[in-house]
Structure 1
Amino acid sequence: MERGKVRIGVNLSGLSFGTYKPGTQTPVGFAVDLAQDIGHKPGVETEVVPVVAANRAVFLQQGKVDLLIANMTVTPERAEQLDYVPTPYEQLGGALVAPRHSGITRWEDLKDKTVCISQGASFQQPLTRDYHVRLKAFRGQSEVLLALRGNGCDAIVLNSPIMHELLRQPEWAGFEIPIAEDLVPADSVIWLRKRQPELKSVLDRIVQDWHGSGWLLALGKQYQMQPSPLIAQLHEQYASKPALAVPVTP
């Protein structure tokens, strides 16, 4: 409030969630709209700061951003270092993308295959521990996609809504999502630094308002995102809850 600005880290390499308006440096997308609304509620400016999986937690810990809305799901390891808003804004898992006719039809078929992911993604442990893949991790999503197209890996795993949107593009006609079930779906939440209970409480009510008003469902539809069952459930849960009156003075 004193600064007149909230700095929110958003992943801008992911189509529906966040990208740049063609021909400009203007960020647009589902997560960008969430970030803008957080600033709008108390009447401050939102500065969208581009982050990737490899640096998002560090940016928050170092104070380069105040919050993260960056496709970052809840894990015990992350919760040890950072705090998060209890009410999720989505539930995300990993979708596997492979060339058509790869022969992959279930997660177990990945044994001994090379799978590419983004550094810092939560998919690393289940892929290596449960499915015994040869893992390659890249700094950002664009590098992962290039590796797949350049035959640097047999398949990739990235956030499911982003991959479903990607495969609608004509240039990806030679690829498919051969496994219907997402890998380790988990709550996607807003992250903040530890020991900020008042901010955490206000943000939680904002997210609850997004659900209760139906705005979050409408926003997802605008970006052609299929809502998870959890989001429909949370809409019903908070539909009758009074809207939050966010204070506009420190």
Structure 2
Amino acid sequence: MHSPSSPARRVQMALLGLLLLGAGAAQADQLDTILAAKKLRVAIDLAVPPYSMKDDKLRLIGSDVETAQRMAKDFGLELEVVPTTLTNRVPYLQTNKADIVISAFSITPERAKVIDFSVPYAPILVVVGAPRSMKITSPADLAGKKIIATRGTTNDQELTKIAPSSATITRFDDDATSMTAMVSGQADIWATSPMLLKVVNQKNPSRDIESKLTLKANLLAVGLRKGEPRLKEKIDGWIRTNLSNGELNTIYKKYHEAELPPEILHPAS
């Protein structure tokens, strides 16, 4: 038997300490880390109106911004907005640059393979918009035309599925650049959301852009890393509570001039 002070005994105790430390680290999850830091790091693309944008005083506003602000407040945490682009939403989660993503983030099977999603909290339509004078009534009318899309978005994915082979798809890295192309007349056809088409007309009424084709209705959710069940449960519970009490509907209506649809407010499961 080793004496309490023998070298072998000391090695054994040191190894036991390391094992216990490792076990404690394994049990700690992302929710514990967030609560200990007293801060919620939320990745948001800052130029996706009306989900996120800046007002005339350069304050960050929008339905996703207010959703993030209310969530952090209800959790008793400081909100840290982590600026991202639409193409970087998944990488920012995977590399721990952000705790969660609230940024017009559609639930897709491809994304669900690498990250987790909360229950849906809002919708977004995928449409093809063009000047009112341009005749587009079916995907076939896009043949030979130049269409723009924001790279890595569901808009890009849905457009790619239906665009004729003779159509040219030009992809920009963010909605702000796509918006500039539409407002300035560099492009006439954009696969995006209806509210962004409305912003084009606000910035340049002569463009007279309207929705021509609706490609898909997507559900938006909070994105988070795989393997964080406690964090997902907390966020899911918060969303359900704020759908039930009307807070998320109020936020959505403020910026989108419409009520949340029944499939969001009253999900089947």
Q: TM-score range by the shorter chain?
A: 0.7 to 0.9
- Residue of 16, 19, 22 corresponding to 2:53: 19
Structure 1: any 5+ residue segments left out of the alignment? 239-250
Residues 73, 187 of structure 1: 8 Å contact kept:
yes
1:58 and 1:160 map into 2 onto residues whose CA distance is 27
For 1:67, give the aligned amino acid: I
Question: Which residue does the alignment assign to 1:248?
Answer: none
Alpha-carbon RMSD:
2.1
Partner of 2:104: 71
Q: Which of residues 40, 56, 59 is equivalent to 2:73?
A: 40
Shift of 1:6: 0.4
Separation in 1 of the partners of 2:177 and 2:123?
Answer: 24
Contact 2:122 2:219 in 1 (8 A): yes
Other structure's SS at 1:64 match? coil
Corresponding residue number in structure 2 for 1:10:
44
Pick the aligned partner of 1:83 from 116, 130, 134. Answer: 116
Partner of 1:148: 182
Which structure: greater helix fraction? 2
Alpha-carbon distance in 2 for matches of 1:74, 1:38: 20
Cα displacement string for residues 152-179 of structure 1 (whole angstroms, at most 9, x for unaligned residues):
4340111233333x15516234222142
Q: Distance in 1 between matches of 2:191 and 2:61?
A: 23
Q: Cα offset for 1:150?
A: 4.4
Q: Where does residue 139 of structure 2 map in the other structure?
A: 107
Q: TM-score, normalised by structure 1?
A: 0.84
Q: Which residues in structure 2 correspond to 1:197-216 (within 5 Å)?
A: 197-216=229-248
Q: How does 1:41-190 map to 2 (within 5 A)?
A: 41-85=74-118, 87-132=119-164, 133-164=167-198, 166-167=199-200, 169=202, 171-179=204-212, 182-190=214-222
- 8 Å CA contact retained: 2:150, 2:156: no
2-structure distance, mates of 1:29, 1:2: 28
Cα deviation for residue 78 of structure 1 reads 0.6
1:96–1:178 Cα contact (<8 Å) kept: yes
Mark the CA change 1:150 to 1:168 in structure 2 (over 3 Å): closer, same or farther. Answer: closer
Amino acid in structure 2 at the alignment position of 1:145? M
**Equivalent residue letter for 1:10:** I
CA 1:2–1:170 in 2, change beyond 3 Å: closer, same or farther?
Answer: closer
Partner of 2:227, secondary structure, is coil
Note closer, same or farther for the CA distance 1:228–1:183 as it changes in structure 2 (3 Å cut): farther
Question: Which letter does structure 1 place at the counterpart of 2:133?
Answer: H
CA shift in 2, pair 1:157/1:30, >3 Å: same
Which residue pairs with 1:221 in the alignment? 253
Larger Cα Rg: Structure 1 or Structure 2? 2
Instruction: Please state whether the residue corresponding to 1:32 is helix, strand or coil.
Output: helix
| SS of aligned partner of 1:182 | strand
Give % identity. Answer: 25
Any conservation in 1 of the 2:183–2:207 contact (CA below 8 Å)? no
The unaligned stretches of length 5 or more in structure 2 are 1-34
Question: Secondary structure, in 3 states, of the residue corresponding to 2:238?
Answer: helix
CA distance in 2, matches of 1:123, 1:226: 21
Q: How many residues align?
A: 232
Quote how far apart the aligned CAs of 1:189 are.
Answer: 0.6
Matched residue of 1:112: which SS? coil
How many angstroms does 1:61 deviate by?
Answer: 1.1
CA distance in 1, matches of 2:266, 2:216: 24
